[in-house]
Chain A
Amino acid sequence: MTVSNDASDLKATTGAQGATGAKLSALFAGTMGPLIGLVLLCLALTLTTDTFLTVRNILNVLDQITVLGIMAIGMTLVILIGGIDLSVGSVLALASMVMGFVAHPDYLNLGLPAGIAAALFVAGLCGLVSGLLVTLTKLPPFIATLAMMSVARGLANMITDGSQIVGFSDWFTNLSIIRHFGFLSVTVGLMIVLAIIFAIFLNYRATGRSLYAIGGSAEVARLSGIPVKSLTNWVYAICGVLAGLAGIVLAARLDSVQPSSGLGYELDTIAAVVIGGASLSGGVGSIGGTTVGVLIIGVLRNGLNLLGVSPFIQQVVIGVVIALAVATDTWRRRAQ
């Protein structure tokens, strides 16, 4: 089937579902390809395993994707403006170590709220510094965030000289364990709320729309009176904060923090955003698409586990999926 970016065509194909269908299709506009892929993947796993399509397993998948999902939101913004952030994995580790150091009884013992605030502050600062390196010193984002990736990882290790911090209050770990209303943990809820907030921001706020202008052409945006530099700084800072938040969620899930956590997460995050239809050259992408990208990676990992496929083969499969997803997208665009 051919899928057009043209909103009216999309409406025509989903017209039977009425107004809600049309709105949904607008939310996922341009991400029909990945969405179809996700549906096919779920169908295949439902047919080949007994356990995939169970409430318990679906909730598991949601739990497993929270860290990736939260980071991918920030990465979507960065990639939308034509940037890239390689530091999110390291910033995640640094933020979680800061939280542990500030909160844990063995160290500063200032309590978890202070620890969380400090973690988010440091993470935001890391992002802001990356942003300033891009806007003020004109470093390419790849280099600026590569530098930040190394710095943040080093700082994370320096805090405890490389050792982990274990054991937090029950209420904190319960955030990712207790399922309110029978299904929704606080961490999963947080991810969903953030996704909705940022989807609304990107679709319906002038500032959000401006990010598409910056990614499409920074010079056009600047000449249109859009404050390109300050928005770029903000985007990197927000990406940092979200990476920090992901670090806190990971700490709650593991009941520990370690400086080596989040290794390679930046690549998973970029992969999720790109599978979701975003263009690395900027200007194209959406939270809807990224959500689909995160779900594809999450479902794929979960499904391969259920099928008993070794983690090594899983890496190969995910690599193939990235190449396939982006290649089909490129072919489709060229065909139009």
Chain B
Amino acid sequence: MSPDPRQSESPHNGLFVNGLCKSYGPVQVLADASFEVRPGEVVALLGENGAGKSTVSNIIAGATKSDAGSIIWRGKPYSPANPAAAIEAGVGMIHQELKLLPDLSVAENVYVGRLPMRGGRIDRATMNAKASAQLKRLGLDVSPERMVRTLRIAAQQQVEIAKALTLNAELLIFDEPTAALGGEETELLFQQIRKLKAEGMSFIYISHRLDEIAQIADRVVVMRDGRIVARHERADVSVRTVVEQMVGRSVERMFPTLSPPGTDTLLEVENLSSPERSFNDVSFSVKSGEILGIAGLIGAGRTELVRAIAGADPISSGSVRVGGQPVHLSGPAAAIKAGVVLVPEDRKAQGVVLDQTIGENLAFGNFDHVAPKGWVFPKAVQKFAEAGISRLGVKGRPNQAVSKLSGGNQQKVIIAKWVSRPPKVFILDEPTRGIDVGARAAIYDVIADLARSGMAVVVVSSDLEEVLGLSHRVLVLSRGRQRGILERSEASNVAVMELATS
């Protein structure tokens, strides 16, 4: 651990954060946070949701004011009144939700608010040339005149970085930059960070993907409950140590022990293809009690494949059989009726109605059970909800709004919605995305229980550890094609990545 920066004897020209505090009403979200970022260094800021990472970043980036404490940046006291002042001082932040104007061009986005003018008109030639130069510096080959909407998420993120570079940023704060990126795109981002680092830029890097930290960070700061609980001088600390510091207790194990699968084949997928060719000629089967993991890079067609099996998107050819019976996948309703349920990728947009209660959310999709004759009585909903809540261990009451729950509990609500039917095939797409490390083990236990109760379970995940730790077998997709199915014994990081990048 590093010494407290307040006692540091060798001041450098970087960032010193000294004793920052912040409270919202009676809730203290940040208590005495102190750390430093040296020039040309990447500091990883780790912690669960609500640990205070965002608050401390927002204070440094000028979006929030601290109640107490001080910051020294490049040798001078620094307290930005707003993000513009922070940018002026050379501090930029790349938010997880990108803040771009989708219908303006790349160059316009880079120079928005300070468009180069000549003779009272926008000097487009200069603007495009300058933006182009910055994009080249990042190794990005897109026309500066292209609409941002037409770019992939990864390229949009590069536009944000290019914008920060033209603002002469010397400290960049990244909030979960790789959450929406695939393996190759992540590698490109890391290359750029290393390059800019060599030019003397500093970075604060927030991520939930702990495996990335050793690759990109120089030092690690761990936060919990608004406090800094650990500082590591090197980034090659074990994931387990970091996780234990983040959750504040020792973690016995992440993944449950799997029971052997049964003998009945519940799901058979044959030569399935999508109309958009996002997946092609995929065939596999899953037995009762078995967990099949689906791995692949972003854009490999994993989500598209499972959505099609759940009836959410159309297929162009191929067939799906559930329990030996062919299923006509005309829509989600048909799939649900046949016993195929999906916990979708985007929890908040596709999984739950946030403003409605747990009870209502559980009833949606189960009116055939809750209201057999079409009459919905509050008592029946209440009873149904209580059963689901206790079965999954959701921390909440039936009449509580889902928006008030943590991500992990929201995910349990979605699982609870389907579990009582009971389905034959349970598909989970990115079941732990955006969920605290400490809460993930509970979701893994739930998934193992689903299999143990005799369902065929399919898990899609970008987190390779998760796929490997949870699956009996792993199906690997690459660019829409099935590259192989690995048995648990042969599925390793390397084996999966080899197939995924083939």
Contact = CB atoms under 8 A, between A and B. Distances in A.
Contacts of B269: none
B349 A217 contact: yes
Contacts of A225: 331-333, 335-337, 365
B374 A219 contact: no
A212 B356 contact: yes
A213 B375 contact: no
B295 to A, nearest CB: 23
6 contacts: A204-B376, A209-B364, A220-B350, A224-B365, A226-B364, A283-B356
Given A219-B350, A220-B364, A284 B355 contact: yes
B353 A283 contact: yes
B399 A219 contact: no
- For A7, A213, A219, A225, which residue has the most chain B Cβ atoms within 10 angstroms? A225
B353 A216 contact: yes
B46 interface: no
A224 B371 CA distance: 15
A205 B365 contact: no
B364 A221 contact: yes
Interface of B: 310, 312, 331-333, 335-337, 342, 344, 349-356, 360, 363-365, 367, 370-371, 374-378, 399, 401, 417
A206 interface: yes
Contact of A204 (B336, B349, B353, B375): B375
A63 to B, nearest CB: 34
Interface string A191-227: 0000000000001111111101100110111111111
Given A206-B367, A224-B365, A213 B353 contact: yes
A19 to B, nearest CB: 13
Contact of A213 (B312, B364, B401): B364
Interface of A is mostly: helix
Query: Which of A8, A204, A216, A221 gathers the greatest number of chain B CB atoms within 10 Å?
Result: A216
Contacts of A203: 376
A206 B374 contact: yes
A254 B337 CA distance: 52
A283 B376 contact: no
A7 B342 CA distance: 31
Given A223-B312, A284-B355, A205 B332 contact: no
A209 B367 contact: yes
B399 A6 contact: yes
Interface in A6-25: 6-8
Given A7-B399, A216-B356, A223 B376 contact: no
Contacts of A227: 331, 333
Contacts of B354: 216-217
A208 B351 CA distance: 20
A224 B374 contact: no
Contacts of A7: 399
Contact of B376 (A8, A209, A224, A226): A209
B417 A205 contact: no
A190 B92 CA distance: 63
Residue among B342, B374, B375, B376 having the largest count of chain A Cβ atoms under 10 Å: B376
Which residue, of A6, A208, A284, has the highest number of chain B Cβ atoms within 10 A?
Answer: A6
B339 to A, nearest CB: 12
B473 to A, nearest CB: 26
A14 to B, nearest CB: 16
Given A7-B399, A226-B364, A217 B353 contact: yes
Contacts of B350: 217, 219-220, 223
A205 B371 CA distance: 8
A203 B378 CA distance: 9
B374 A205 contact: yes
Interface in A264-298: 283-284
Given A219-B350, A223-B332, A223-B342, A212 B360 contact: yes
Contacts of B367: 206, 209-210
A7 B382 CA distance: 12
A212 B376 CA distance: 13
Contacts of B331: 222, 225, 227
Nearest to A217: B353
A210 B376 CA distance: 11
A222 B376 contact: no
Contacts of B371: 205-206
A283 to B, nearest CB: 6
Nearest to B366: A224
A204 B378 CA distance: 8
A204 B375 CA distance: 5
Contacts of A209: 360, 363-364, 367, 376
B399 A207 contact: no
A213 B376 CA distance: 14
Nearest to A6: B399
Contacts of B378: 26
B360 A224 contact: no
B355 A224 contact: no
Given A26-B378, A206-B370, A220-B353, 9 more contacts: A205-B375, A206-B375, A209-B376, A217-B349, A220-B349, A223-B342, A224-B332, A226-B333, A226-B365
The 9 closest A-B pairs by CB, nearest first: A216-B353, A224-B365, A206-B367, A225-B333, A225-B336, A206-B371, A213-B364, A224-B364, A217-B353
Contacts of B360: 209, 212-213
A206 B333 contact: no
Contacts of B333: 225-227
- Most B CB contacts (10 A, CB to CB) among A210, A220, A227, A284 go to A220
A221 B363 CA distance: 11
B461 to A, nearest CB: 19
Contacts of B342: 223
